[in-house]
A = this chain, B = another copy of it.
Amino acid sequence: MPGNTFGTIFKITSFGESHGVAIGVVIDGCPAGLDIDIEFIQKQLDRRRPGQSSITTQRNEDDQVQILSGVFENKSTGAPIALLINNKDQKSQDYERFKDVYRPSHADFTYDQKYGFRDYRGGGRSSARETATRVAAGAIAMQLLKHQNVTINAFVSQVGTVTLDNPYQQLDFDAIDSNLVRCPDKETAAKMISLIERVRSEGDSVGGVITCVIKNCPIGLGEPVFDKLHADFGKAMLSINAVKGFEIGSGFAAASMRGSEHNDAFQKDGDKVVTSSNNSGGIQGGISNGQDIYFRVAFKPVATIAISQETVNSSGEETTLEGKGRHDPCVVPRAVPIVEAMAALVLADHWLRSKAGRM
């Protein structure tokens, strides 16, 4: 069974390779009657787009989205919404030299082993270019969630050893897009940018962490027992290229804590039941409890580097790979809209799922 579909009711099916004709996504299950703002979709794609700033890859991908179906007079009709992004910058010749060489920590070797051969042009299906379709579909999920007043903000909280340690409550989310690295703290952002520039000049790459905060999530989303809300967030994030870790609420720090310290006491805030702390990260028993949901996503450094590396080729001979090309020194600034999109897709699906849960 293939794996190019995500979600159950708000369900997306993605297609397309880095250097094929086009990439795209079909959204099946968007409720009828939703206002669809194509400019908002394009805006999100522009935030993910390569070549958008001096610290990203200089590949220039235009990424103009087109709606093929499912929208009539600017409203969703209930029919599947197909979104298409034509591939423009198809310099396949750049990639001929990777045809027979397995790039370290890329998917070249595993694709060859799994499928018997591979579309080697720019990584083919394994390329992160595929994430553009997630951003496009996620932008429609966001329009659905806006009706519930849900807000989703992701930001860069770590690049290499530079970390943003302030609690998210002290940050100004409006400042996230005010700098190239999408870190809402100006000073930390400057350090991150400076680190990325140094790494790039060395022909190397560096990892990072994205934090995501969701406010106003309706109470009751998430399905026991396997489709707990945070389990679906985890899968969504871990399916993004280069992600190696996910933690929600207290996360790995919970392992060192006592129950008396970790438990979130219930209390009243006017008529509402709230919690005095939020180690749960807004989810209890797999179900949203109305508090802020927040989680952290760890990205490894991009595998494509300019530094020469040892490897083997498809004939099984050891060889050396000389890097070149227009890679991202650090993927996390461009991954911010991807994290937000995947979060929106999970929430939109669970919101629709919750509608059938109760008499």
List of B residues within 8 angstroms of A6 by Cβ: 226
Once the chains are docked, how many angstroms separate the CA of A232 from the CA of B232? 10
**Chain B CB within 8 A of A219 CB:** yes
How would residues 99 to 113 of chain A score, 1 for a CB under 8 Å from any chain B CB and 0 otherwise? 000101111011101
Q: A225 is contacted by which of B4, B72, B115, B209 (Cβ under 8 Å)?
A: B4
List of B residues within 8 angstroms of A228 by Cβ: 3, 238-239
Question: Which residue of A2, A105, A106, A116 has the most chain B CB atoms within 10 A of its CB atom?
Answer: A2
On whether the beta carbons of B298 and A252 are closer than 8 Å, the reply is yes
List of B residues within 8 angstroms of A20 by Cβ: 68-69
Given contacts A15-B70, A226-B239, A307-B260, contact A252 B209 (CB under 8 A): yes
**Chain B CB within 8 A of A158 CB:** yes
Q: A254 is contacted by which of B72, B283, B298 (Cβ under 8 Å)?
A: B298
Copies of this chain, complex-wide, total 4
**Chain B CB within 8 A of A114 CB:** yes
Given contacts A257-B301, A310-B265, A310-B267, contact A124 B77 (CB under 8 A): yes
**Chain B CB within 8 A of A38 CB:** no
Given contacts A244-B251, A246-B238, A268-B316, contact A305 B263 (CB under 8 A): yes
On whether the beta carbons of B2 and A11 are closer than 8 Å, the reply is yes
On whether the beta carbons of A14 and B225 are closer than 8 Å, the reply is yes
Given contacts A104-B264, A251-B245, A305-B259, contact A284 B204 (CB under 8 A): no
Question: Which residue of A230, A252, A279 has the most chain B CB atoms within 10 A of its CB atom?
Answer: A252
Question: Which residue of A1, A263, A264, A312 has the most chain B CB atoms within 10 A of its CB atom?
Answer: A1
Given contacts A3-B227, A4-B225, A206-B259, contact A104 B266 (CB under 8 A): yes
List of B residues within 8 angstroms of A153 by Cβ: none
Q: A32 is contacted by which of B117, B265, B300 (Cβ under 8 Å)?
A: B117
Chain B nearest CB from A66 CB (Å) reads 7
**Nearest-CB residue, chain B, relative to A319:** B266
Q: Which 10 A-B pairs have the closest CB atoms?
A: A107-B285, A3-B227, A3-B223, A245-B247, A205-B259, A32-B115, A235-B235, A110-B287, A254-B300, A259-B301
